Chain A
Amino acid sequence: MMDLEKQKKAPIFEALEKFRKKRVVPFDVPGHKRGRGNPELVELLGEKCVSLDVNSMKPLDNLCHPVSVIKEAEELAADAFGAEHAFLMIGGTTSAVQSMVLSVCKAGDKIILPRNVHKSVINALILCGATPIYVEPKVNEHIGIALGIEIDALEKTIKENLDAVAVLVNNPTYYGICSDLKRIVEVAHRHGLLVLADEAHGTHLYFGDNLPICAMKAGADYAAVSMHKSGGSLTQSSLLLTNNGVNADYVRQIINLTQTTSASYLLLSSLDISRRNLALRGRESFAAVVKMAEYARNEINAIGGYYAYSKELINNSSIYDYDVTKLSIHTQGIGLTGIEVYDLLRDEYDIQIEFGDIGNILAYISIGDRIRDIERLVGALADIKRLYARDGSDLVSGEYIQPDVVMSPQKAFYAEKVTMPLEKTDGKICAEFVMCYPPGIPILAPGERITKEIIDYILYAGKKGCSLQGTEDPEVKNLKVIK
């Protein structure tokens, strides 16, 4: 149990306040000098904001080597999240994910993961030279999304790869699907593997009631927690949590390999304040979020055609639990792909949602939402059905294509390559990523065999308006393959 009295403190925020009142004359960076050198920036961001954009210094500590207020803020975060150690991260959850992967893998190591990992995981493998071993996930045929890791499949994969060093799990997936994390930890630890949790979409699991279990509680060794998503802090701020005696000093060294030495105090203080908020008021906030999401789900399901799914999907294996704060909606019942609904909402109704894929959309519900905005979303979905619904028998469901990893992502990334038209790459080994963004889950990653099936899927996703990314060719007409 965290110490609620201590959680009322926000050491970085308090140090900044104290520092501001001292009216110190800056002869250090940043060169805008509390905004005086850049009036347009002050006009845009406000005086208070630019005056907090200061350099690391003794009274404000230093993120590369915390000894005072940042150290204290990290200890409070660790206490709030039930971890042994928490690292404040300012390079997005990407940096948290990469730091945990780099902390456990080195060249030649194997790491077991589901395919629906964020690209940052595979990028980390390019950096360190480890090889991904994919556990084949079940796919829900109807809604067309990859589900969680099944225990049997994991055990089989571990037994086939007894030299693997770690398992990485999404908790939850972008869509809200959770695996049986507790048993995954049990199985992995029994075979001497570490467990890393990507909780980019799971900050709230640490504070809400009746939500799926969080990684630290389930016994995982590392977790990357996206504070800026459901936690309320500024974009790009995040947390890396460790447990079970992980050597925090070594992890700090790994973080410092790629982290800036000029950490932004706007980001750091936003983490500090958000952690305090979550610790003191998180429970009520997320209860309100759950209520809004449930309301929206019921109203959307009442429209007909749309399917806003929830706990009824739970099957005790591939969908062990569902995160009810997520509002994921299958749209093919009105004959439209998710990406088409996503575009209509933005272009016709001035509503921006998180993402749309082949079969689904995800509307992100958070502490900042109001019921009247939910009414707009529901109203717009009803109107889209009225105006744009069509026969959807030609739609394909988002499918899972098990990757054939021929070489490590690093080897493929640095190998000699040639560029070829996408249609002609059947049978070649891919040297770059292809993904729809968001959600940013790779269709192809460096080192994987390209098949006709994959090429067709990429062409279809492109035709339906998915934003395809990852290749050097911005239009994804050409692919780089190994020579």
Chain B
Amino acid sequence: MEMWFSELHTPNVKISIRIDRQLYSAQSDYQRIDVFDSPEMGRFVTLDGDIIFSQADEFVYNEMVTHVPMSVHPNVKKVLIIGGGDGGVAREYCRYPEIEVIDVVESDDMFVDVCKQFFPETAKGFEDPRVNIYYEDGLKFLRKKINEYDIIVNDSTDPFGHTEGLFTKEFYGNCYKALKEDGIMVYQHGSPFYDEDEVACRSMHRKAYRSFPISRVYQAHIPTCPSGYWLFGFASKKYHPLTDFKPERFNERNMHTDYYTTNLHMGAFMLPKYVEDLLEEEENS
């Protein structure tokens, strides 16, 4: 028997993953949620047919949205994760003992339940007493927050679906307001390769660049993402991701990682020419 899951990355390109079996399928108030087991990528979850994370490659972005800002900001006490329904990012932040509060905002409680059931290792992040989960719209949650967080992570990946509101100028503006005066926002910046993704990627950078004094982009290799190549945004009120980067602070901790290293930190901000060009175009437009 051959069973394949396919996701269209463009109308003309798709990624296919051989499926061992489908474990779950349901429609929540927001989206369709499916869970599969696969020989190559392990267990993975899809929302409206798009892969959200797989056991094989989730470590990449969990580490990249955590250790990059943590190695730059000298004094992190309070972190907000928006759309972090799987708990993976919260779990990564929990590794830092100096963090006092980690708030997770997720609009879809069913997604959280599915992750707890099928990805208990990832969802372990929710068990830490410092982690609070709020089932609320991200934009609404932010509206009431002023000068409160050191780091905000926008863990939503889809600028077209029900999380569209988390890729808008009003979102970046409300994040700016919710951050302390030296706060950092990191966010999923999409993939710059295919045409339609490129448009979304440009628009994100344009908005973040105009909302924050410092706005840089860094990269990672994530096999299940469109074209396998993924960008993150680093928008900051005070700290520059490279000139304020203190590698020794991370290295002293002796933390085991599978993707992030302090060398990679430097390299991740060195972008291919075509990506540099498109970002610069948006900065100057």
Binding site for B on A (CB under 8 A): 299, 303, 348-350, 371-373, 375-376, 378-380, 382-383, 386-387
CB-CB under 8 A from B142, the residues of chain A are 379
The one of B143, B164, B168, B177 in contact with A378, judged by C-beta atoms closer than 8 angstroms, is B143
Contact check, A386 vs B173: say whether CB atoms are below 8 A apart: yes
Nearest Cβ in chain A — how far from B162, in angstroms? 6
Taking CB atoms, residues of chain B closer than 8 Å to A383 are: 169-170, 173-174, 177
Apart from A349-B168, A375-B139, list 11 A-B contacts with CB within 8 A.
A348-B169, A350-B168, A371-B137, A372-B137, A372-B139, A372-B165, A376-B168, A378-B143, A380-B168, A383-B169, A383-B174
Residue B234 interfacial (CB < 8 Å):
no
Report which of A303, A350, A379, A387 forms a contact with B139, defined as CB distance below 8 A: A379
Known A-B contacts A371-B137, A372-B137, A372-B162; the reply to A382 vs B168 at CB < 8 A is: no
Chain A residues whose C-beta falls within 8 Å of the C-beta of B170 in the assembled complex: 349, 376, 379-380, 382-383
Is A379 in contact with B162, judged by CB distance below 8 angstroms? no
Task: Pull 18 A–B residue pairs with CB atoms less than 8 Å apart, ordered by A.
Answer: A348-B169, A349-B169, A349-B170, A373-B165, A376-B139, A376-B165, A376-B168, A376-B170, A379-B139, A379-B168, A379-B171, A379-B174, A380-B168, A382-B143, A382-B173, A383-B173, A383-B174, A387-B173
- The answer to whether B137 touches A382 (Cβ under 8 A) is no
Nearest to B146 among chain A residues (CB) is A386
> Which residues of chain B from 167 to 207 have a CB within 8 Å of any chain A CB?
168-171, 173-174, 177
A345 to B140, CA, bound (A): 18
Tell me the minimal C-beta distance from A452 to chain B in angstroms.
Answer: 41
Q: Which of B139, B140, B164 has the most CB of A within 10 A?
A: B139
Contacts of A372 in B (CB 8 A): 107, 137, 139, 162, 164-165
Q: What are the residues of chain A within 8 A of B165 when measuring CB–CB?
A: 372-373, 375-376, 379
| Number of A-B residue pairs with CB-CB distance less than 8 Å in the complex they form | 54
The 8 closest A-B pairs by CB, nearest first: A383-B173, A379-B170, A380-B170, A379-B139, A375-B139, A376-B165, A383-B170, A375-B137
> With the chains together, A386 CA to B173 CA distance in Å?
8
Smallest CB separation, A45 vs chain B (Å): 20
**Assembly CA distance A348 to B143 (angstroms):** 18
Task: Output the residue of A348, A379, A380, A386 with the most chain B CB within 10 A.
Answer: A379
What are the residues of chain B within 8 A of A376 when measuring CB–CB? 139, 164-165, 168, 170
* A171 CA / B258 CA spacing, docked (Å): 66
CA distance A382 to B143 in the complex (A): 7
Nearest A residue (CB) for B171: A379
Type the 1/0 row for B97-108, where 1 means its CB is closer than 8 Å to any CB of A. 000000000010
A380/B169 contact (C-beta < 8 A), A372-B162, A375-B140 known: yes
A194 to B173, CA, bound (A): 54
Chain B's closest residue to A387 (CB) is B173
User: In chain A, what residue has the closest Cβ to B141?
Assistant: A375
- List chain B residues, Cβ under 8 A from A382: 143, 170, 173-174
Determine the distance from Cα of A371 to Cα of B29 in the docked complex, in whole angstroms.
Answer: 12
Complex formed: what's the CA distance from A382 to B140 in Å? 10
Closest chain-A Cβ to B183's Cβ sits at a distance in Å of 15
CA distance A299 to B107 in the complex (A): 18
Q: Specify which of A348, A372, A387 lies most central, judged by the most chain B CB atoms within 10 Å of its CB.
A: A372
Which residues of A have CB within 8 Å of B140? 299, 375, 378-379
CB contacts (< 8 Å) of A299 on chain B: these are 140, 143
